[in-house]
């Protein structure tokens, strides 16, 4: 890793967290010409939730603005190697979404209308076409199916690692295994960060600490209402006939996704009663690799789609992994300046979509930091949109749980 290692003592900006979001922000700040950027992680680079993701994109989102951001991210993924000079393996096999109820069929029609209005290639396809695209799919019970040809899946670790390496080549100082333990403020503005390797003076700090976002925000007396929530996936042993060209399939009412991986199928999904975590209560030194997983959750989710994927009636598990994405009360990310603390920014509340959106979030937040305004209206992601009622932990957790359990269908 070029230019990594020793901490600098003063920086134009310090980015806390070298997962997908933090590494992308550091890269885009450096690319825009900032020379003294510090990207700091308390663990190895790209080692926590980001490398455990499924790596899927979903360009049609719940709002126009989220959809625009997700489309921008896919265009940046297509150009990732040219922009960063770092490798990125991706398969643009498209994605299908299946409605098994009349209500979800209506949702799909609205998604097609939104996508098409915003210039995204997306349409309803016939059951026969869906089966041609994904031979393991039996479209029995499908009331409607959409296909978005430009959706893709990628190798997750390459996004944060590629951005961190490219940021370092552009002059950023990238320092793994260094914990930020405090944020210094004066007269309502950030003046520095304290780490276990010493202090850095800086007027800008970006909290991209993933599951630890709230703990880092509290160091500056900030409050970011996110709830780390366990999310898991499995990969089956190789199955004859699986090919990388087959599309991602999502089933709305069961909140399950399936895609090809390592010659088998990857299956992940959103259970109705996910486990939420308070990272402050976890043992010191906790890492995502220590997270207790439960394959039973995934077997139950697989059971909800065996009519559509008969191959999942019986399968052998080759890999099982999970992490702690952060949920928000409205299912939208939290990106922007934290009110009341000048120079303190946040990029979190990934809602299990932070890896694929990180190329776009990094670019827009870097511009916001450097010019004082974002390149597009991002008020819908602003940290201050949550009122004081979300200071009530029980209410926040209930809303976040609901969003998770309705990942594919929440309005």
Ligand X SMILES: Cc1cc2nc3c(=O)[nH]c(=O)nc-3n(C[C@H](O)[C@H](O)[C@H](O)COP(=O)(O)OP(=O)(O)OC[C@H]3O[C@@H](n4cnc5c(N)ncnc54)[C@H](O)[C@@H]3O)c2cc1C
Length of the chain counted residue by residue:
411
Neighbouring residues of 79: CB distance < 8 A, sequence distance ≥ 6: none
In the complex, which residues of this chain contact ligand X (CB under 6 A)? 16-22, 40-43, 47-50, 52-56, 179-180, 208-212, 216, 231-233, 268, 322-323, 325, 348, 350, 352-356
Neighbouring residues of 182: CB distance < 8 A, sequence distance ≥ 6: 193, 194, 219
Least distance (Å) from ligand X to the CB of residue 237?
Answer: 19
The DSSP H or E segment spanning 357 is helix 354-371
Closest-by-Cβ residue to ligand X is 19
Least distance (Å) from ligand X to the CB of residue 302?
Answer: 15
**What CA–CA distance (Å, rounded) separates 68 from 381?**
13
Least distance (Å) from ligand X to the CB of residue 41?
Answer: 4
Please say which residue, 98 or 205, places its beta carbon nearer to ligand X.
Answer: 205
Least distance (Å) from ligand X to the CB of residue 301?
Answer: 12
- For 411, counting Cβ atoms within 10 Å of its Cβ (0-12 exposed, 13-18 middle, 19+ buried), the class is exposed
- For 256, counting Cβ atoms within 10 Å of its Cβ (0-12 exposed, 13-18 middle, 19+ buried), the class is buried
Please say which residue, 146 or 178, places its beta carbon nearer to ligand X.
Answer: 178
Please say which residue, 179 or 184, places its beta carbon nearer to ligand X.
Answer: 179
* Beta strands 95-99 and 248-251, pairing class: parallel
**What CA–CA distance (Å, rounded) separates 53 from 51?**
6
Least distance (Å) from ligand X to the CB of residue 158?
Answer: 13
227-246 burial: b if 16+ Cβ within 10 Å, else e: bbbbbbbbbbeeeeebeeeb
Least distance (Å) from ligand X to the CB of residue 315?
Answer: 17
Please say which residue, 18 or 301, places its beta carbon nearer to ligand X.
Answer: 18
Please say which residue, 48 or 138, places its beta carbon nearer to ligand X.
Answer: 48
**What CA–CA distance (Å, rounded) separates 93 from 129?**
14
Which ranges constitute the DSSP H helices of 265-336? Answer: 295-303
Least distance (Å) from ligand X to the CB of residue 9?
Answer: 17
Least distance (Å) from ligand X to the CB of residue 394?
Answer: 24
Please say which residue, 268 or 331, places its beta carbon nearer to ligand X.
Answer: 268
**What CA–CA distance (Å, rounded) separates 315 from 299?**
10
**What CA–CA distance (Å, rounded) separates 124 from 109?**
8
Please say which residue, 54 or 341, places its beta carbon nearer to ligand X.
Answer: 54
Beta bridge partners of 189: 186, 342
Please say which residue, 58 or 108, places its beta carbon nearer to ligand X.
Answer: 58
């Amino acid at each position: 890793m070029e230019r990594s290692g020793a901490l600098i003592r003063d920086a134009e900006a310090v980015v806390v967290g070298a997962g997908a979001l933090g590494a992308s922000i550091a890269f885009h700040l450096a690319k825009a010409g900032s020379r003294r950027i510090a990207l700091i992680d308390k663990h190895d680079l790209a080692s926590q939730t980001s490398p455990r993701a499924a790596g899927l994109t979903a360009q049609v989102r719940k709002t126009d603005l989220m959809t625009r951001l997700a489309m921008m991210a896919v265009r940046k993924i297509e150009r990732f190697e040219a922009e960063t000079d770092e490798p990125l393996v991706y398969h643009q096999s498209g994605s299908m979404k299946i409605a098994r109820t009349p209500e979800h069929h209506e949702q799909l029609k609205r998604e097609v209308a939104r996508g098409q209005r915003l210039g995204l290639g997306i349409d309803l396809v016939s059951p026969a076409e869906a089966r041609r695209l994904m031979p393991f799919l039996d479209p029995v019970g499908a009331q409607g199916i959409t296909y978005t040809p430009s959706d893709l899946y990628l190798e997750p670790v390459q996004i944060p690692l590629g951005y961190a390496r490219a940021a370092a080549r552009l002059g950023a100082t990238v320092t793994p295994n260094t914990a930020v333990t405090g944020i210094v403020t004066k007269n309502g503005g950030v003046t520095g960060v304290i780490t276990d390797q010493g202090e850095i003076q800086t007027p800008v700090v970006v909290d991209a600490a993933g599951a630890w976002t709230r703990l880092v925000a509290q160091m500056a007396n900030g409050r970011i209402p996110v709830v780390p929530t366990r999310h898991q996936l499995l990969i089956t042993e190789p199955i004859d006939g699986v090919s990388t060209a087959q599309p991602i399939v999502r089933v709305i009412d069961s909140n399950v996704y399936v895609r090809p991986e390592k010659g088998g199928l990857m299956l992940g999904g959103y259970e109705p009663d996910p486990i939420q975590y308070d990272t402050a209560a976890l043992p010191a030194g906790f890492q995502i690799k220590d997270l207790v997983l439960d394959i039973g959750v995934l077997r139950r989710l697989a059971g909800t789609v065996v009519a559509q994927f008969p191959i999942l009636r019986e399968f052998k598990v080759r890999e099982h992994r999970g992490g702690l994405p952060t949920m928000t009360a409205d299912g939208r990310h939290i990106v922007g300046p934290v009110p009341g603390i000048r120079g303190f920014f946040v990029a979190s509340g990934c809602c299990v979509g932070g890896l694929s959106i990180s190329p776009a979030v990094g670019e827009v937040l870097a511009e916001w930091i450097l010019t004082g305004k974002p390149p597009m209206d991002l008020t819908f992601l602003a940290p201050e949109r949550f009122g004081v009622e979300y200071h009530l932990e029980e209410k926040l957790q209930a809303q976040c749980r609901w969003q998770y359990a309705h990942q594919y269908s929440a309005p």
